[in-house]
């Protein structure tokens, strides 16, 4: 709790993040109407008392859809970041700690992945696999893990020759326990910070792929997909794009600010 008391800003952003998470969890109960089923007689209604943010092209309540979209976007982004961090850390630790040919292979492969323009490769992969939530996550995983691998490897390289590791080795500690008890805990803070700062970016990329038709498929209430659906009506019913866009903006901004302030709290350089 002292962390919060000393970092007012971090406490504030954490509060907002918790609020978003709660909204996501309870979205199905909070949504005033079914986000999937609409009244086709009442399409493209302007925002009113009954439909807080208007209705979309199939007469579905946009407010309910955005609310339920929080769940999907957040779930996808968190899954993705967790997966990337895990894969990247694993590769980075192995490469950094063992060195030799293993490092050469893993790191050259990572370099290769970094040489591609990420989002373009992701579009290609998602396009080949076919549009779905799982495939989007896979595609973004494939293009994003390399950054973490490089980061973790360089941290491990620095740690590997430090005295406490040498001491553990001399004491006869097993390699697995060195990795688990000494290397990993020292690497984790950086990974967590990078991960937290990436949540927003990943949300944007997921929404981007959905917007292009490679991510969530209709009738899923996903923000990027909603933007795409609203595109046709940008001139006649702009609220179809404004509110999902606003939702993306707000949530991404909150996660970015939170990631920033988390870094301020966790970054060892600050001390």
Partner 1 sequence: MFEMKMFNTKKLWKAVSLGLCGAVLTVMLAGCGADNSSSADKGVLKVGVTNFADTLEPTQNFFGWVVMRYGLGECLTKFDDKMNVQPWLAESWSISDDHMTWTFKIREGVKFSNGNPLTAEAVKASIERAFAKNNRAATFFKYKEIKAEGQVLTIVTEKPMPNMPGFLADPLFIIVDTSAEGSRDFAKEGPICTGPYMVESFVKEKAVMKKNPNYWDGEVPFETVEIPSIDDPNTRAMALQSGEVDMAVNIAAGDMDTFRGNDKFFVDEISSLRTVLARLNHKGILKDDKVRAALICGCDRETYNNVLLKGTFLPGKAPVPPSMDYGFDQLTDPNAYNPERAAKLLDEAGWKDTNGDGIRDKDGQPLKLDFVVYNSRAELPLYAEAVQSDLKKLGFDINIKTVDYNLVDQMGIKGEYDLLISNITTANTGDPEIFLSWYWKTNNNGDNPQNGSGYSNPALDAKFNELAAEFDKSKRRQLIIDIQQILLNDGAALFLGYPQTNIISNKVLSGVKMYPSDYYWITSLIKPAK
| Residue ranges in contact with partner 1 by CB under 8 A | 36-38, 40-41, 43, 57-58, 130-131, 213, 217-219, 231-237, 260, 264, 269-270
Kindly tell me which of 120 and 234 has the beta carbon lying closer to partner 1.
234
Kindly tell me which of 203 and 225 has the beta carbon lying closer to partner 1.
225
Q: Give the tokens for residue 243.
A: 């509110």
Rounded to a whole number of angstroms, the minimum distance from the CB of residue 20 to partner 1 is: 21
Give the C-alpha separation, 56 to 45, whole Å: 7
Q: Within 13 Å and on the Cβ side, how many CA atoms surround 253?
A: 6
200 CB contacts (<8 Å, ≥6 apart)? 251, 252, 253, 255, 256, 259
CA-closest candidate to residue 159, choices 97, 107, 101, 99: 97
Kindly write down the DSSP assignment for every residue of 135-170, as one continuous string: HHHHHHHHHHHHHHHHHHHHHHHHHHTSHHHHHHHH
Rounded to a whole number of angstroms, the minimum distance from the CB of residue 61 to partner 1 is: 13
Give the C-alpha separation, 148 to 86, whole Å: 9
Kindly tell me which of 21 and 260 has the beta carbon lying closer to partner 1.
260
Kindly tell me which of 14 and 217 has the beta carbon lying closer to partner 1.
217
Rounded to a whole number of angstroms, the minimum distance from the CB of residue 107 to partner 1 is: 28
Kindly tell me which of 161 and 270 has the beta carbon lying closer to partner 1.
270
Rounded to a whole number of angstroms, the minimum distance from the CB of residue 59 to partner 1 is: 8
Kindly tell me which of 57 and 160 has the beta carbon lying closer to partner 1.
57
Rounded to a whole number of angstroms, the minimum distance from the CB of residue 54 to partner 1 is: 14
* Cross-strand partners of 61: 55
Kindly tell me which of 116 and 233 has the beta carbon lying closer to partner 1.
233
Kindly tell me which of 171 and 236 has the beta carbon lying closer to partner 1.
236
Rounded to a whole number of angstroms, the minimum distance from the CB of residue 228 to partner 1 is: 9
Rounded to a whole number of angstroms, the minimum distance from the CB of residue 234 to partner 1 is: 6
Rounded to a whole number of angstroms, the minimum distance from the CB of residue 266 to partner 1 is: 13
> Do 50 and 3 form a contact (C-beta atoms < 8 A)?
no
Give the C-alpha separation, 3 to 11, whole Å: 8
Give the C-alpha separation, 170 to 132, whole Å: 51
232 CB contacts (<8 Å, ≥6 apart)? 57
Assign residue 43 a region (left: φ > 0; alpha: ψ between -120 and 50; beta: otherwise). beta
């Amino acid at each position: 709790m002292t962390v919060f008391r000393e970092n007012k800003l971090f406490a504030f952003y954490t509060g907002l993040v918790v609020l978003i998470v709660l909204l996501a969890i309870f979205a199905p109960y909070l949504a005033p109407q079914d986000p999937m089923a609409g009244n086709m007689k009442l399409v493209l209604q302007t925002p009113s008392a009954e439909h807080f943010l208007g209705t979309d092209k199939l007469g579905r309540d946009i407010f309910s859809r955005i609310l339920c979209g929080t769940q999907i976007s957040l779930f996808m982004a968190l899954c993705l970041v967790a997966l990337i961090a895990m894969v990247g850390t694993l590769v980075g630790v192995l490469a950094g700690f063992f060195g030799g040919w293993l490092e050469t292979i893993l790191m050259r492969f990572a370099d290769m992945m970094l040489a591609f323009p990420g989002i373009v490769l992701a579009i290609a992969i998602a396009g080949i696999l076919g549009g779905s939530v799982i495939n989007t996550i896979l595609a973004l995983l494939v293009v994003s893990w390399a950054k973490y691998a490089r980061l973790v490897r360089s941290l491990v390289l620095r740690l590997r020759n430090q005295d406490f590791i040498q001491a553990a080795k001399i004491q006869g500690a097993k390699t697995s326990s060195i990795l688990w008890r000494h290397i990993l805990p020292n690497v984790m803070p950086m990974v967590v910070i990078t991960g937290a700062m990436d949540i927003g970016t990943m949300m944007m990329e997921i929404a981007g792929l959905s917007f292009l038709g490679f991510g969530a498929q209709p009738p899923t209430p996903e923000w990027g997909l909603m933007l795409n659906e609203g595109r046709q009506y940008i001139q006649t019913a702009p609220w179809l794009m404004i509110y999902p866009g606003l939702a993306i903006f707000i949530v991404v901004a909150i996660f970015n600010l939170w990631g920033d302030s988390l870094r301020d709290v966790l970054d060892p350089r600050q001390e």
